[in-house]
Structure 1
């Protein structure tokens, strides 16, 4: 009798469906509050900022161009003046920052314009 008899083990590892899905649900909740919700709020604020752009506002585009809004068109296009007599059309979605109406550009930009 060198070989012992094998007995079937009892099913001790029974877990229900809720316990196995709980970690996935917790991960989703954490992702929602740390990633999804703040991103949705940021997008909502950006959309409101773009809708509030008016003639005379100083804006910054995603390309880094700073200019003064001279015309707001209905089809989602702005005309901005980036230098005296130089006007450029840009899409509203490319606006990253709206400064106060008629705000001056900072001192570094003034020095560049003077030279």
Structure 2
């Protein structure tokens, strides 16, 4: 009877290979964390800092590709002037970044490439 429990325990991974399996799972989680979760958290933190630093007069690019100058900022919304007299309201979270015009744009792209 005791032999059958020993055989079942080894078949279920309770033998010496069980520690290797647990180590493998821990290693997979560590790889997933450093390759996927941590970069995502850094990106979210940078986006929150961008949104917190927005002010009236900034030119921004939305996730939909609209470029406009900020006219009004509320807690949830931003009013953009996309053309003379044409204003639209968008959610603050849909602002993808600041839009640089002129010689500043290539310099910003070079910094991102490094």
Counterpart in the other structure of 1:44: 45
Superposed CA offset, 1:58-108 (max 9, x none):
0011111000001112x31111100001011111000001135xx46x8xx
Distance 1:34 1:20 in 2: 21
Whether 1:80 and 2:80 are equivalent positions in the alignment is yes
Distance 2:18 2:40 in 1: 32
Aligned structure 1 segments of 4 or more residues deviating by more than 3 angstroms: none
RMSD of equivalent CA atoms: 2.3
Superposed CA offset, 1:9-41 (max 9, x none):
xx7x63154222111100000010011000000
Provide structure 2 residue ranges, at least 5 long, that are not aligned to the other structure: 106-114
Whether 1:15 and 2:16 are equivalent positions in the alignment is yes
Counterpart in the other structure of 1:110: none
Classify the secondary structure of the residue corresponding to 1:53. Answer: coil
Counterpart in the other structure of 2:25: 24
Relative contact order, CA 8 A, sep 6+: which one is greater? 1
Counterpart in the other structure of 1:67: 68
In the superposition, the TM-score normalised over structure 2's length comes to 0.72
C-alpha displacement of 1:55: 0.3
In the superposition, the TM-score normalised over structure 1's length comes to 0.72
Q: Whose helix proportion is higher, 1 or 2?
A: 2
